[in-house]
């Protein structure tokens, strides 16, 4: 499964730019920051357009018992 950092690095590879690692992920600048923003925006747009896709909705039942903190 692709993670956020994997998607960003794939985009950076296609642009022939320096990839980032987890240690530097929070302190990126310039093209690396633009790539992070582009991936984030794309994910948000996909999820907003397809709000009824099964993987975006999760429903389940959970029976609670009084006094058990479960």
> How confident is the model over 28-55, as pLDDT tens digits?
889 999 999 999 999 888 888 766 667 6
**Two tokens, residue 10:** 């794939």
Indicate the pLDDT class of residue 12, thresholds 50, 70 and 90: very high
Mean pLDDT of the chain: 85
Domain boundaries, the chain: 4-56
Q: What local confidence, expressed as pLDDT, does residue 1 receive? A: 64
Indicate the pLDDT class of residue 26, thresholds 50, 70 and 90: confident
């Amino acid at each position: 499964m692709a993670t956020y950092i994997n998607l960003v690095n794939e985009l950076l590879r296609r642009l022939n730019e320096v990839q980032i690692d987890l240690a530097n992920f929070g302190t990126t600048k310039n093209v690396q920051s633009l790539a992070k923003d582009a991936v984030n925006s794309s994910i948000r747009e996909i999820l907003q357009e397809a709000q009824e896709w099964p993987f975006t909705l999760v429903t389940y039942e959970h029976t609670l018992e009084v006094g058990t903190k479960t």
